[in-house]
Amino acid sequence: MRERKEDIGIIASGLLPQINERMHTHVSSLEEDVLKRMQTFAWRGNIRELRNTLEKMVLNVQYGTIKMEDVAFIFEEMERKSHSAKSAGGLREVCTLAEMEKKMIQQALQEEEGNQTKAAIRLGIDRSTLYRKISKML
């Protein structure tokens, strides 16, 4: 979905009837500006994340068309989460477990000014485990 943002409207239109049936609501469509705003997000969780967002919108509107003034707070919440993820040292970006572990070790070492004993304590692991992980990274 990140690569094909133009499909978000089609997918959302397909999800609305399912959501309406499950939640006993009668939302018919999305206003164009709501759709355009949805296309600005990365949707890392793909369809599941889109469905969850649509469910929040539908619960807020209940019937008719989803308008920007009804759901602006949802977009604001999504932006806050996105900004906080970016400011978390990049650890919330999509990466492998090994990459995330390496970033955490590097961050702990930097914060502890290279002191491996303190970094191990910060990470909640044994000093020898940290040494082993560092030697694997080199």
Beta bridge partners of 29: 65
- Specify the pTM: 0.58
Mean pLDDT in residue range 96-107: 86
Q: Which stretch of 52-56, 64-68, 86-90, 104-108 has the lowest confidence by average pLDDT?
A: 86-90
**pLDDT interval class at 99 (50, 70, 90):** confident
Domain 5-86: assigned CATH number: 1.10.8.60
Lookup result for tokens 């990466």: 95
CB-facing half-sphere around the CA of 98: CA atoms within 13 A? 4
Domain boundaries, the chain: 5-86, 97-137
Look at residue 91 in the predicted model and tell me its pLDDT.
47
Is 97-137 a CATH 1.10.10 domain?
yes
Q: What are the tens digits of pLDDT across the range 105-116?
A: 998 899 889 999
